Amino acid sequence: MNIFNLINIKMKIKFDDILKAKKRISPHIIETPLEYSLGLSKEIETDVYLKLENLQVSGSFKPRGGFNKILKTKESNPESEFIAPTAGGHGVGLSYAANKLNSKVHILMPKNADKDRVKDIKNNNASNQLLESVTAARLEAKKLEKEKGYVFVSAYNDTEMIEGAGTIALELMNQIPDMDCLVCGVGGGGYLAGMGIVLKTINPNIKIYGVQQENAPFLANWFNTKKYPKNLIMKPSIAEGIGAEVEENSITWDYINEFVEDFLIVSENEIKDTLLWTIKNHKHYVEPSAIVGLAGIRKNPDVFKKYNKVVTIITGRNMSFDKFLNIIK
């Protein structure tokens, strides 16, 4: 894969779009550090690095896309109001960006959403509505989009969100230009798509692996069968921020199908174990969704020891302490 191949597949987002996104959002975010994992590197006999997006403003990588979406939209329509369905993380990031930019945003969430995420969204001065499920939130958000003229913001199926997420890879290529493998926990595939555009443009030989939980392997199933999973049974997961059902027309699919080397699957116990491992070995309090990629590396050392420098993204920390205690008990 190189930059010239990108025009041969159904991809509208280009490397230059992500460079523009970086310039657009840079005043509002921080460049997160890269941390070497000494213990894991010794364990699997190759160098492993953690990109610490849990230290990003608002506690996750999500504001990268949120700032990009709002700023880019308001270039042509300064009075835009935004609406988003979310399990929580997307809502925190988008509401944070909206608050900083004095924009109005409406966040729709399931009733069982993490209480700290609900609190953060309200503290960001966003309107907040709780519904029965993420699916119900998405349907209501689409309805209000039509009725009120709000700008709908998907966490992943959105050009500007993908562009914003891709800025992580621009930082990575400055921090570790000789990396040869990226491992991502995958939900809708937005940040994987954005990072893939950057990494594969700069170095087509970089390998990208997606990781999902066995309770909700939607994109993994789609990738392996090359058929949209219409009747896949999805179970609850402690990593509720990723692994949800993805729309058949999601723009992320073409990027994932083109860029990903393989998908790996991890269990709920392996996610829980890696959550505790991260706290013990790196002293980072993070959410389960944040370390699914790391769990994939720990489970599959033989897959990754053939690479020289493996990177995974620790995507966020927005989990209430009560939920953490409930997970580990």
176 burial (CB, 10 Å; 0-12 / 13-18 / 19+) is: middle
d(CA 181, CA 208): 6
pLDDT of residue 8: 47
Examine the pLDDT at 10 and tell me if it is beyond 80.
no
Residue 22 — φ and ψ, nearest 5°? -60, -45
pTM to 2 decimal places: 0.94
- pLDDT at 67 exceeding the cut of 80: yes
Identify which of 300, 301, 285 has the alpha carbon closest to the alpha carbon of residue 60.
285
Residue 151 identity (one-letter amino acid) = V
What's the pLDDT tens digit per position in 266-322?
Answer: 999 999 999 999 999 999 999 999 999 999 999 999 999 999 999 999 999 999 999
Phi, psi torsion values for 64, nearest 5 degrees: -55, -50
Give the model confidence (pLDDT) of 141-151 as tens digits. 999 999 999 99
Q: Which residue has the higher pLDDT, 7 or 170?
A: 170
- In this predicted structure, the answer to whether residue 5 has a pLDDT above a threshold of 50 is no
* Tens digits of residue pLDDT in 197-237: 999 999 999 999 999 999 999 999 999 999 999 989 999 99
pLDDT of residue 329: 83
Residue 9 has pLDDT above 80, yes or no: no
- Mean pLDDT, all residues of the chain: 94
Give me the percent of the chain exceeding a pLDDT of 90.
91
| Percentage of residues of the chain with pLDDT beyond 70 | 97
Going by pLDDT thresholds of 50, 70 and 90, the confidence category of residue 254 is very high
